Structure 1
Amino acid sequence: MSNVTAFARDARAIEAPGIEALPLSDLYLSDMNPRQEADPEGIALLADSIAMIGLIQPLAGLRDPQGKVGILAGGRRWRAIRLALERDPELVAHRPELAFVPVRLAPDEATARAWAAVENTAREDLHPADEIRAYGRMRDGGADVPTIARTFGATEAHVYRRLALAALPAPVLDALKAGEITLGAAKAFTVADDEALALSVLEQARGREMSEHRLKQLLQPEAINAAGDRRARFVGIDAYRAAGGRMTADLFADTALLQDGELLARLFAEKLTAEAAAAAEGWKWVETVDAPWIDYQTTAALGRVYPVEGELTEEQAERFDELAELAEAEVLDEDGQAELDALQAILDGGFTDEQKAHAGIIAYVSNEGELRLHQGLVRPEDTAAAVEAGVMQENRHTIGSGAKDSKPKSPYSGALVEDMRAVRLHAVQAALLAKPELVLDLLAFGLSGESGNDRVFGIRPETARNYPSVTDGLDGDPRLADPERTGSGWLDDDERLLAFRTFIEKGKKHRNATITEGIARTLPYPGIRDGFFAAIEDMAGADPRKVWTPTAENFLSRVSADYLDALMLDLTGTDPQDSGFKAFKAQKKAAKALSLEKLFSDADYQAAWQIDAEKKAKIDAWVPDCF
């Protein structure tokens, strides 16, 4: 029988212990106290609290044969009192209980051991909902954050996080206290600015596993996430607010939700037009595109002029080679990189005034919110003049421009050209055989979607359908989503080469992860012959229930009522004549689906059906036989 049990049994026989005020020097931590270690930061915070509001609860101890008292319960308070007096010896002037500490003394060792066990095992932390309300009441009473932190022995950062939830509607905090929503879900409700909508969403969220992202979507259906919207990034939050735009701060996601979509669209269009006009100086024309890329159909109808490449002096060329070698070895300092960039800019050259007089630019804003310019584009009606001025050559620049092909007949036959291309390709492929790292870089680049709409190799893996039409209950891995391969548009040679170099700079770890993700996305669902697929499934340790949970929306409402009846019997193992099952069977199909959803995810509902460990394992592993 434990000491706690013995103590409870004999409680009536024990006289109420007295409380004595004892000098701090007479107190020490008893070996019976289970909490021999304490967090220094926590003790410091508790010392602040005791210094501010005093000692509210006495300690408990047992007097030893030498007359000293070992602390059985309240070891943290004892440590905090000592620390508070070390910091400020004059504190006893207005906190006399710190000099003569109130201690409840146990009459004997058996009682002392029972006290130590009860005090240190029964103590519970304050529930977050109660903590939020307590902090809120203190703030409403005029206390500032440092005061609240010292009073409760908490960090100021913790108090700020809790106070951010203090203004939530009472039903939300009630649901948190009842365990119907998580603390993360409660944080999501801070974005709501319509209490009626918030309470409606709360009813949907009670007892369900709903992501914070989904809750925020429901609470702010028209809002625009400033961090993820290219228009918001381009316009800027300050400009949006200066124009009178309304916004709600997401206190727990370090972002803002913009409420005026029409205003944002207007500000975006105005800024894009203004910046495009500023960049168009010297060019014949400028257009803007309200998309994060320029599609191939647009550029295919236009000709192009290309920057005039610059030339380095012999001295500059030697210096360029030196700096490039240092950069390749990754030992180039900041000044050296700036010098290398300046020399590269000379090599890259630029457009001449005469080229600009016959060509134009298309401006757009990328997904990152940055202005991008597609320069040197020649309209079909300007092609003849550009050729006549010598800024274009028909055989190089006028493909797709609508200009008449007047180049002289080639001395090479079509078959000969194809043969020579085959020789060139063979030579490159042969060289790649000795460059496996380069091949892997190119493969990963092509799989990443960063290479634009064209292919690097003659390979374009297709992503099999791996997301159901109803995604409720699916904990999908974002790496398996099909990358927006049109996200980069059609890249010209320079853009594509820059994209590839940028990709290589991310390192081999990124490359290898990209290959794994890209190839994994292409695994198709098998047809009739699925033995090989099943073997891969086994080797990978795959389990549909690791990523999917049956819900009323994604499965249970999409089968018959008879199916639900049979499933309930199978999973619960209950008797068909049992009153609980009869009540379930009498429900309409929609209610049955919701009840079964709780059977898969609600511990209290499982307890009501007396689901033991064996039955729970069966429920957790169940999948329909239509896979």
Structure 2
Amino acid sequence: MIKSIPLNKLVQSPRNVRRHSDPAADAELKASIAARGLLQNLIVRPTAKGKFEVEAGERRRRAMLALAEEKLLARDYEVTCLVLEDSAEAAVETSLAQNFHRLAMNPADEAQAFAALVSGGATVEEVARRFGLTVRFVEGRLRLATLAPVVFEALASGEITLDIAKAFGATSDQDIQTRVFEQVSSGYYAPNPDSVRRMVLSGTVRGSDPRARLVGSDAYIAAGGRIERELFDNDDSESWVDVALLESLAAAKMEEQAKALAAEQGLAWVKPTLDPYASHDLVEGLVRLPAEPAPMTEAELTRLDELDASYDEHAAILEDEDSAEEAVAAAVAAIEAIERECQDIRARPPVIAPELRAEAGMILVLSRDGTPVLQPVFYGERQAEPSEGDNGIEVVAGEDGSERRRTTLSKRLVDELAMQRRDVLALHIASDPGLALDIMVFTLADSDTHDWRARPSTTLRAPVPTGPIIGFEAKDAPASSGLAEFRSSLDESWRAGDDAISRFDLFRALPDESRAAWLGFVVARSLEASLNMSGERQLPFQDHLGSLIGIDMAQWWRPTAANYFDRVSKQVILDALTDVGGLELSSRFASVKKGDLAMSAERVFAGTYITEVEVREKALAWVPEVMRFGSAAPEAGEAYIDASDAELGVDEETHTPRELAA
């Protein structure tokens, strides 16, 4: 029932679902009511005391109360209301529906409406005041109304965003707006506000601009482009006048390059952009595909060994106090060149699985120097969501062979039902820790097999870190060989399943110790590389874990000439000798050349150098500080256990990695 109720009889309902508001929006509403009165009735529910609780329209009630305080409305101002006789529960639903199902005006509609008011004689200031808006906001909408018809229609239909429409408004020339719109509409890559603004502005660009370097002056001039040059201008400082033409030529050339690269590399597509990065709009709807750095060739590995040896030779010159200045300078230059070459060799491009390449794509960006560059990331198209018609999403129900029923649900309802169903499943998984652990371990272990095109069922991720040096493996180290043995011993029979469902069921059927081993492996392979030192390699949590486990690094890693002593200065080696044998030991080697000293140190710390028993025990327990877990140094006289004798899964006296995983 609709009736008029005095303002002072209206009170706030405790069931109104709107708890927060926007002061700026409230001011706009207040100004609107002051200028035009209340345009939409309130929804109220009577109380036993003759008052009416406002279930929908609380912001309007507050705005009218504020106007009453300012004497612009009477306190008993008659307010048109829809009076409900529903229950309290139904009132909550009514409040939610009234607040929820609202559609903000399209900026194009706002622009036309404001333009009509101004055409009718209202000033910009009056329009702003009547709607509680800023003058700048109204002026911005009026500028949209002056856009070229084709641009304005694109804004109204949602073809372009408000930010892109504003970029077109950077010039008032509708001919330029139309020409630029046609260029970006026919281009392969999605327009963005920055590129549109660059194209419509009537200014010039320098010859050093990446687009100019890409196109080249000959092609630009042949297409009708103009270049203005001052007396002392060079190719980089000259002015290219026709920016829109340049942008169009650059876009065409990038598209041509993209098609060629896609065919050359066997990719499904390559998307070009004139930006030096892949914007969010460009990769929206795409999913990153798994890729690994390309393995090094034998020739590259051999070259790295040669560079390491050359590095050590030049480093020895720097460490020799008697080296001539010319030799030192040459050594410094050689070392810098070696480091650059090593970096180039180790900067491996990513490699994608052959079966994914035909469906994968990449982004082609324009570098600062005008060179098209493929970003080293592979993307795939996400699986299409169910199509939504005018009345919602069509859902087909029914088992195979039974009658199939078709139901049309709104997108909102589909999402709400999905979240509620998710919560039911989540509650049951949370109540079953064993199942939860199986899901976690399986999800992390199955990441190598999971179909990238399918939407993941959880957000669990534990990617394998690439490490600071790509391709490096200490294959002969006891820990590295132990990890390889551990990996090869895992039960992989569950991988025979054709899909995630069958693989998970097979995984759950594994014995407890097999699933526990997978748990240890997926966690272990996610560890980042770290050292016990300040800087980017320091990870205190790993130091804590190593101390907690009680790892004795001397059992698992021994310093040799190849892995340590050849790579450090002579003084560092002498300091290590002093640590285990005092000055008496280190002074024996003070005059020995660096190469010979490294070999002698290897023998000392391997326990094969003839020396005192106490010194030998200390040497066998010594590792560099950076390799230790925690800050405590190894105690002198601690028994030495050869890592090669600690057979995984056999030694019953110590906790081996296999036992920890079981």
Fold shared, TM-score > 0.5 on shorter chain: no
If the length of structure 1 is used for normalisation, what is the TM-score? 0.36
If the length of structure 2 is used for normalisation, what is the TM-score? 0.34
